[in-house]
C-alpha cells in the first residue's frame, strides 16, 4: 500500500491503527481469560495498557471523522497531528510487546500454561505486524 500526505489523505493508516488498537485492547481480555492466576502486577499493567489502547483508538476515530468532514483538504497542522498520533500508536504497540516479553519471562502462571504461552506469542507477533505497517508508512513519508 502507498500512503501520501500530499494529494491523498492518510485514512488507510488511520484505519489500520483503529483496527489494531481494537485488536490489542481485546487481546488483553483474552490473556486475562486464559491466565486466571496471572500475577497482580501483570493484571494491573495489562488493564492500564487496555485503557490506553482504547483511548488511542478513540483519538484515531476522531481524526478519521475530522478528515471526512474536511473533504480532502486537511491543514498541514492536522496532518502533523495525525503523523504524531501514528508515531505514538506505534510506540504504544512496542510497549505492549515489551509487556508481553516481561510476562513471558517473569510470570510463573504463564510458564505453567502452554496455551497461554502460545496465545501470548501469537498476539505479540500481531502487534509486531502493526509496528511493521507503521514503519513502512513512516519510511514512505520520511518522518519519525
**Cell numbers linked to 135:** 514503519
pLDDT confidence of residue 108: 98
The whole-angstrom separation of Cα 140 and Cα 2 is 8
Are 24 and 99 in contact by the 8 Å Cβ rule? The answer is no
pLDDT tens-digit profile of 21-60?
Answer: 999 999 999 999 999 999 999 999 999 999 999 999 999 9
Structural Rg of the chain based on CA atoms: 17
Q: pTM surpassing 0.85? A: yes
The whole-angstrom separation of Cα 106 and Cα 15 is 34
One digit per residue, pLDDT tens: the chain, 144 residues?
A: 344 434 455 889 999 999 999 999 999 999 999 999 999 999 999 999 999 999 999 999 999 999 989 887 889 999 999 999 999 999 999 999 999 999 999 999 999 999 999 999 999 999 999 999 999 998 888 755
Amino acid at each position: 500500500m502507498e500512503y501520501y500526505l500530499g494529494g491523498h489523505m492518510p485514512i488507510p493508516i488511520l484505519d489500520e491503527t483503529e483496527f489494531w488498537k481494537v485488536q490489542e485492547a481485546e487481546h488483553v481480555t483474552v490473556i486475562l481469560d486464559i491466565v486466571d492466576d496471572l500475577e497482580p502486577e501483570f493484571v494491573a499493567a495489562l488493564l492500564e495498557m487496555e485503557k490506553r489502547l482504547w483511548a488511542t483508538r478513540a483519538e484515531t476515530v476522531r481524526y478519521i471523522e475530522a478528515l471526512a468532514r474536511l473533504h480532502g483538504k486537511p491543514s498541514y497542522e492536522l496532518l502533523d497531528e495525525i503523523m504524531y498520533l501514528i508515531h505514538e500508536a506505534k510506540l504504544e504497540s512496542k510497549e505492549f510487546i515489551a509487556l508481553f516479553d516481561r510476562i513471558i519471562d517473569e510470570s510463573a502462571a504463564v510458564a505453567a500454561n502452554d496455551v497461554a504461552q502460545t496465545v501470548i506469542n501469537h498476539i505479540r507477533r500481531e502487534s509486531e505486524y502493526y509496528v511493521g505497517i507503521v514503519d513502512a508508512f513512516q519510511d514512505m513519508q520520511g518522518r519519525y
